[in-house]
Structure 1
Amino acid sequence: MAEASAEICPVILCGGVGTRLWPLSRRHHPKQFVAFDEGPTLLQATARRMSRSDAAEAPGGGLEFAAPTMVTRSDFRFVVTQQLQDIGIDPGAVLIEPEGRNTAPAVLAAALHLAATRPEGVMLVAPSDHALPDTAAFHAAVAEGLRVVQARDDLVTFGITPDRPETGYGYLRLDAPPDASGRAARLAGFVEKPDAATAQAMLEDGCHLWNAGIFLFSVRAILAAFETHAPELLAAVRQAVAGARPDLGFLRLDEAAWAGVEDISVDYAVMERADNLSVVPFAGHWSDLGSWQAVHAEAGPDAAGLATAGAAVAIECDNTLLRAESPDQVLVGLGLSNIVAVAMPDAVVADKNRAQEVKLAVSALRERGLPQAEEFPRDHRPWGWFERLALGGRFQVKRILVNPGATLSLQSHHHRAEHWIVVEGTARVTVGEEVHLLSENQSVYVPLGVRHRMENPGKVPMVLIEVQTGGYLGEDDIVRYEDVYARG
């Protein structure tokens, strides 16, 4: 059994990509890294409610959290660590998946890693992209789950009390309606996403909860469950973890071993086969933000069903969501009804009735080879970010932000020259054998083929405007000679 003083080891799954919230969420910058209001991003909010600094007093005493274990993809590793650092949270480990293989391999890799460092630990596994604002209520539910884990070492899942006949979620079935006190109950089974009539019947019988995809179990119990119900998966993931190599503070799982890992959810691999399952009902607010309709509901629409964000102006609109994502762009809705309008500098999506079909737009853009299908206007890098301001036949203009103390790679280009103008902060620039210290309104020219590097030696972000000229301006025209981030 887990010790009564068990420290909870959060495991945050943040490697997913999706298109249902395009254009705000894209393959290269998915929704977990997006802030849907004036507060933190979804990842940051998830990490906060699973951290020691944000632990609320729950019935029976406060919760103790270890540093979170993050499971993500290589493309997201730097934005994950940057977003956590921005809110003062340092991850205990960041496991890099060579490619997405669903939740079972991700959970298993985290469990195997923790088995070597915290073998008596209790894992709290959660997606990084859900909205769950009532932290105190969440901690109370976790405390109840911890009681069950400590008492009988069950695998605990959390079920959301439904408030509508939702056909987009899976359900958890109980033998009787849950106790109003929020006490855990035995889980009788899982129900796949239902049709409308079945969802209505399950809402009325009171014995079904939405499956939130949040779990609590001891490291020992979940490894035993995989050993019993998915031994081949356990063997493959164990090999990938055993062959993992450190990479700039990250732990990169073995690529060859991972290629043979089955793509399967933790529900299918283990939960639906295990007999030691309990569920903790959660009556607080929760949303998976899985569609623009869900974002509209989360935005708190007024009596007419209108919600706006950013520089959006609504005139005689109802049942409508207007989001303007760029401060330089004003979105005006006139006489709109039942519309989702999300305006970004490079893309717009609309029509609330068909918001679930956004993936069709993404597919159409991808077939045409358009970058808007997957690329975000602001490209996040380990040193900061850049965004395109203008693009012509033989020129491109970018705004570049470099974080304090950050350094870009020493590099050169075969096809373009560059002109840099510092507009905020101070830059240390290497061009060939010369090093320049540039302040605001100063500039430097980088000829084609010359090795160069920029650094921010200051304590505040440095912003510069880069003007590129040449016959080819693609991001793959980079020859790196030195790189503190060890990119290829």
Structure 2
Amino acid sequence: MSERIIPLIMCGGAGTRLWPASREGRPKQFLQLFGSRSTFQETLLRVSDATLFERPVIITNNAYRFMVLEQLAAVEIEADVLLEPVRRDSGPAIAAGAAFALTRSADAVVLALAADHVVRDTAAFAEACRKALSVASAGRIVTFGVQPERPATEYGYIRPGEEIFGGVSAVAAFVEKPDAVTAAGYVKDGYLWNSGNFMFRAQMLLDEYARMDAGSVQAVRDAVKEAGRDLGFVLLDPEAFGKAKAISIDYAVMEKTKQAAVVPVSCGWSDVGSWHAVWELSDKDDHGNAAQGTAVFEGATNCNVSTDKALVALEGVDDLVVVATQDAVLVSRQKDPAGLKRLVAKLKKVAPEVTADHLKVHRPWGSYQSLDIGDRHQVKRIIVKAGGRLSLQKHHHRSEHWIVVRGAALVTVNETEKIVHENESIYIPIGATHRMENPGKIPLELIEVQTGSYLGEDDIIRIEDDYRRS
């Protein structure tokens, strides 16, 4: 039996249930919704006890790989990071994590966790993991059933069956999200919320999965076996992984296996699946109002505000969600999260750019934000972190003017290198090969003014790139 658990953190989701804060380019697991750390970072810290947990495995995708590294570094945790070449839902992702865990130990026990959940009682969570470890090591696939705090309609439920070990029961049934009346009956009858987090012996999970879909398991095993490595990432083989069927782990394994068990836990869990859930988890004033950012309430009750910069003032309203970012504002009722899903689906057709990315776009070297754009000009604020370096590149349709406002930039233009200090500028002609680097110990901030006939990001011809994007 493995003495410690390998955490497998699923970090590839691109959900927009918390739009406009969460978008495909930077989804909710990377956002600071409840303080200075993201839910991904809180998940990492929750499984950082070296007496119980081994080095974690993160499974994500190419788009999020540098955000994962940046947030790992911020909490000083090291991990193995697996990159899915294509999204195949949680079934193949968890199978890939299990197959990778077997490269560490033939009897590895894995704890599969979503990166975007909240757990307020870490001690209770750890105790549930210890209890699950014995059962998982004995050959069960253990899920964590959360003691309901209310008759929720947004969660699936688990009906516990016969007790098999010290409060751990067999799973009698998984049931889909109920209506309000059915949910109340489930709570009365002792059903548990399905958290979607699991613990299992890696080999056991793959054997059970293979009984249902041998082809997908073989594809995943091959993807791990043929994986490459680049910049510290484990690159699952694209051809092999692409052959796996896209399916959730619930449908692929959990609803079919006879080896499912459930550990009841009361740990302040939430999947943070709506702005109403964020409100429930947030500190509130005497009138039930919560705010992230600057907000003023007068005669307002049970409202939730999240704002980047703009002050939000609410008067004489109740039960509202107001989320203000620099390019979009959401106003909706708290108790209709399904309405937001319909709204985002409509936005993807009407204004897809506001569901894809923020005005502030994160890059492995830092970030940039568009401040103003016209027919033949664009103004950006660029931040380059200490030691960061942009690609060596050129443009066919635009020239650029860089003005440094903080720090110092080492700039290459064709064959010339020059240090550009605060309150100095440099001009980059159309077609010139150029690069910018931050050689200092503080962030480099500059204003870029682009002029030309075409200003799209696809007019970047990368010649060399530290991050393998050329």
* TM above 0.5: yes
Q: Which residue of 2 aligns with 1:298?
A: 281
- Does the 8 A contact of 1:404 with 1:462 survive in 2? yes
Q: Which residue of 2 aligns with 1:96?
A: 83
1:315-356 deviations in whole A, cap 9, x for unaligned?
211121111122xx2111122212100011100111214443
Q: Which residue of 2 aligns with 1:430?
A: 412
Q: Secondary structure at the match of 2:219?
A: helix
Q: Secondary structure at the match of 2:118?
A: coil
Q: Which residue of 2 aligns with 1:395?
A: 377
Aligned-pair distance for 1:439?
2.1
Aligned-pair distance for 1:258?
2.4
Of 339-348 and 223-232, more deviation after overlay is shown by: 223-232
**Rounded Cα–Cα distance in structure 2 between residues aligned with 1:393 and 1:365:** 24
Q: Which residue of 2 aligns with 1:183?
A: 167
**Rounded Cα–Cα distance in structure 2 between residues aligned with 1:183 and 1:476:** 57
- Does the 8 A contact of 1:340 with 1:355 survive in 2? no
**Rounded Cα–Cα distance in structure 2 between residues aligned with 1:154 and 1:459:** 51
Q: Secondary structure at the match of 2:245?
A: coil
**Rounded Cα–Cα distance in structure 2 between residues aligned with 1:203 and 1:450:** 67
Q: Which residue of 2 aligns with 1:118?
A: 105
- Does the 8 A contact of 2:161 with 2:172 survive in 1? yes
Of 393, 418, 423, the match for 1:441: 423
Aligned-pair distance for 1:370?
4.5
Q: Secondary structure at the match of 2:174?
A: strand
Q: Which runs of 5+ in 2 are unaligned?
A: none
- Superposed, 1:183-332 pairs within 5 Å as 183-206=167-190, 208-326=191-309, 329-332=310-313
- Does the 8 A contact of 1:178 with 1:281 survive in 2? no
When the two chains are superposed, the root-mean-square deviation of aligned CA atoms in Å is: 1.8
Aligned-pair distance for 1:205?
1.2
1:15-48 deviations in whole A, cap 9, x for unaligned?
0111211100111111001010222011111111
Aligned-pair distance for 1:271?
1.6
Aligned-pair distance for 1:277?
2.2
Aligned-pair distance for 1:232?
2.1
Of 124, 136, 150, the match for 2:123: 136
Of 325, 332, 341, the match for 1:359: 341
Q: Which residue of 1 aligns with 2:145?
A: 159
Using the size of structure 2 for normalisation, the TM-score is 0.96
Of 245-254 and 407-416, more deviation after overlay is shown by: 245-254
- Does the 8 A contact of 2:156 with 2:177 survive in 1? yes
**Rounded Cα–Cα distance in structure 1 between residues aligned with 2:312 and 2:423:** 32
- Does the 8 A contact of 1:420 with 1:444 survive in 2? yes
Q: Which residue of 2 aligns with 1:60?
A: none
Q: Secondary structure at the match of 1:187?
A: strand
Amino acid aligned to 1:12: I
Show structure 1 runs of 4+ deviating over 4 A: 176-179
Amino acid aligned to 1:170: G
**Rounded Cα–Cα distance in structure 2 between residues aligned with 1:461 and 1:173:** 53
Q: Percent of counterpart pairs with the same letter?
A: 43
Amino acid aligned to 2:221: R
Aligned positions, number: 469
Of 448, 452, 455, the match for 1:473: 455
- Does the 8 A contact of 1:378 with 1:387 survive in 2? yes
Aligned-pair distance for 1:177?
9.6
- Does the 8 A contact of 1:292 with 1:356 survive in 2? no
Aligned-pair distance for 1:474?
1.0
Q: Which residue of 2 aligns with 1:35?
A: 32
Q: Secondary structure at the match of 2:270?
A: coil
Q: Which runs of 5+ in 1 are unaligned?
A: 56-62
Q: Which residue of 1 aligns with 2:322?
A: 341
Amino acid aligned to 2:45: R
- Are the structure 2 counterparts of residues 178 and 295 from structure 1 closer, same or farther at C-alpha, using a change threshold of 3 Å? farther
- Does the 8 A contact of 1:35 with 1:41 survive in 2? yes
Q: Which residue of 1 aligns with 2:56?
A: 68
- Does the 8 A contact of 1:167 with 1:194 survive in 2? yes
Q: Which residue of 1 aligns with 2:68?
A: 80
**Rounded Cα–Cα distance in structure 2 between residues aligned with 1:478 and 1:145:** 51
1:198-232 deviations in whole A, cap 9, x for unaligned?
111111112x1111111111222212222333312
Aligned-pair distance for 1:398?
1.2
1:241-267 deviations in whole A, cap 9, x for unaligned?
233222222122222222221111111
Q: Secondary structure at the match of 2:71?
A: helix
**Rounded Cα–Cα distance in structure 2 between residues aligned with 1:178 and 1:238:** 31
Q: Quick check: 1:25 aligned with 2:9?
A: no
Q: Secondary structure at the match of 1:224?
A: helix
**Rounded Cα–Cα distance in structure 2 between residues aligned with 1:350 and 1:86:** 33
Amino acid aligned to 1:44: Q
- Does the 8 A contact of 2:217 with 2:244 survive in 1? no
Aligned-pair distance for 1:477?
0.8
Q: Which residue of 1 aligns with 2:45?
A: 48
- Are the structure 2 counterparts of residues 194 and 359 from structure 1 closer, same or farther at C-alpha, using a change threshold of 3 Å? closer
Amino acid aligned to 1:11: L
- Does the 8 A contact of 2:394 with 2:460 survive in 1? yes
1:363-416 deviations in whole A, cap 9, x for unaligned?
333323441121122211111111111222221111111111111100001111
Amino acid aligned to 1:76: Y
**Rounded Cα–Cα distance in structure 1 between residues aligned with 2:258 and 2:408:** 61
Q: Secondary structure at the match of 1:350?
A: strand
Using the size of structure 1 for normalisation, the TM-score is 0.92
